[in-house]
Structure 1
């Protein structure tokens, strides 16, 4: 394994576990402690991790939500599997909403051959991905969040009541059984609230690191969510808890 591959793997492990012991890393990466220390020193200088006694931990973004460019490469394999599973729920002739976000963006890659599909979105990367396809595109008008590459909106800028969305694919920064889904940005949250109100079926696309987090702005309780699609790293106890509620938890393969 090349140094860049090892360093990427270290970050991926820390994104899941937050804190990892040095002994765990040497075993997982099959490297000597000296080789591991060189990787950790570099990642520390880059400001991505912090050394603690006997291990390392990831450095969270100061402002809670990392930029979309960072999230586009984080947990990419999991996000692609989630997106592929989402695409299997999309049929020819559907009118769907694809949210701004690194996971929902991946959906656009898997739906280009769908027939008579209409995509409503507030994601500039989704528009760019689908621009040369046969899909009919509708972008929500409003203010551009440059950091998120998304458009956020209010009632006077876009008439949501005109939309007839069959399926909405929503991103989130946090999911708990008690509080539902949540996000860091109030404008994104308000847009998602409106879309949830207007859509017949709600799908939340979220990797397993989002579970157990209740972040700044509440979007919707789980009673309003039909499906949550996540990756295979989802905790088994969590999967069992979802069997007791009406929201369906789908594990992507």
Structure 2
């Protein structure tokens, strides 16, 4: 089992038990206690857990799930700025993926001014807003996420994202670590986002300042896999590694 797979398993066990010992983790995952300690050290550095004597516990804020309508009223000025910058990348005739985040929702008023674009999204809220601007929109349907009732998940949504090649994927998550890892609190929205990223020519991460020093449980990807980071702050100064493949837009 690779280290990132072990870390995911450790987080799952912590969420089930709140506190676990090194010996318990070593027995469950079938590796040495020294390897577990190294994994715990890395997870603590990422802000996902708190180490204590003989074990670790998950941070209480890691898996905090906030409804869409509440998130859409947080950091609105910053999200609107980032969304406006993101929309400038879109050209007439483009096909784009929009994820179910509130950050991409703020792009919609700008997309309405661009001719002949096509939007594919699994966000019920975004679809409704796009219809007001007469934007050609396809909803990747499926099962409504019971944890985030503005978003569709499951095999049907995933099949649609896997069958289309888009010019851009615009997405956001709850957390960016200094190591460049992206995390979110909704486990069942990770796979649709992965497929959007996989099947888009260019990947664009919308990152307002609230994503920094904020921690979530489920890893999406690393920023080395994306092309643009758009933010209201100098994100490259926060990251511990230089990424020559990324265009930073502020």
Q: How far is 1:220 from its partner?
A: 0.9
CA RMSD of aligned residues (A): 2.4
**Counterpart contact for 2:79–2:106, Cα < 8 Å:** yes
Equivalence for 1:88: 88
2:113 counterpart residue number = 113
- Do 1:230 and 1:250's aligned partners in 2 also have CA atoms closer than 8 Å? yes
| Length-normalised TM-score, structure 2 | 0.69
Q: Tell me, what secondary structure is at the counterpart of 2:119?
A: strand
Task: Determine whether 1:192 maps to 2:193.
Answer: yes
Q: TM-score, normalised by structure 1?
A: 0.68
Residue by residue, what CA displacement relative to the aligned partner does 1:164-203 show, whole Å, maximum 9, x if unpaired?
2110001111112425211111111111111111111100
DSSP-derived class of the 1:178 partner: coil
Tell me, what secondary structure is at the counterpart of 2:104? helix
Structure 1, residues 87-126: CA drift from partner, whole Å, max 9, x if none? 1011100000111111110001111021110000011111
- The corresponding residue for 1:64 is 64
The aligned residue for residue 225 of structure 2 is 224
The whole-number CA distance in structure 2 between the counterparts of 1:156 and 1:65 is 21
1:245 is displaced (CA, Å) by: 4.1
Aligned residues: 190
Deviation at 1:235, TM superposition (A): 6.4
Deviations 1:40-81 (A, max 9, x none): xxxxxxxxxxxxxxxxxxxx8695121111111111010100
The answer (yes or no) to whether the contact 1:174–1:182 under 8 Å persists in 2 is yes
Q: RCO (CA 8 Å, sep 6+): is it higher in 1 or 2?
A: 2
Equivalent residues of 1:100, 1:148 under 8 A apart: no
Alignment check: 8 A CA contact 2:93 2:117 kept? yes
